[in-house]
Amino acid sequence: MGHDHQTRRDGVWFLLRTCVICCALLVFNSAFVVAFVEGLAQQYPVLDQVGFIRQSVLIGGPLFLLGVEWFLYDQLAQRIRT
């Protein structure tokens, strides 16, 4: 009513776009985390000896980066709107 710029949601298309973007970001994040862990494993062989640390980083790293990316996107969108 009193807003000049109203957010529009396209229902299923909005959800589909969001899923596609999240999947693409997870693919890129996974590649980045794998390269990062491989580089660390060369310097610190203990990462290969303790498998659960490596697996935790390989699984949690891309998800953490996805959260950071969405936070930064929200901050940028908010600054552009104001």
pLDDT tens-digit map of 35-74: 999 998 899 888 888 888 889 999 999 999 999 999 999 9
Token representation of residue 30: 């996974």
| DSSP3 helix / strand / coil % (the chain, rounded to 5) | 80, 0, 20
Share of the chain above pLDDT 90, in %: 56
The predicted model gives 13-33 an average pLDDT of 94
Exposure of 67 in the CB half-sphere (CA atoms within 13 A): 4
Q: If you write DSSP's letter for every residue of 29-53 in order, what string do you get? A: HHHHHHHHHHHHHHH-THHHHSHHH
Token representation of residue 69: 């990316």
Sign of the C-alpha dihedral computed for residues 31, 32, 37 and 39 taken in this order: positive
The predicted model gives 2-26 an average pLDDT of 80
The reported pTM is 0.77
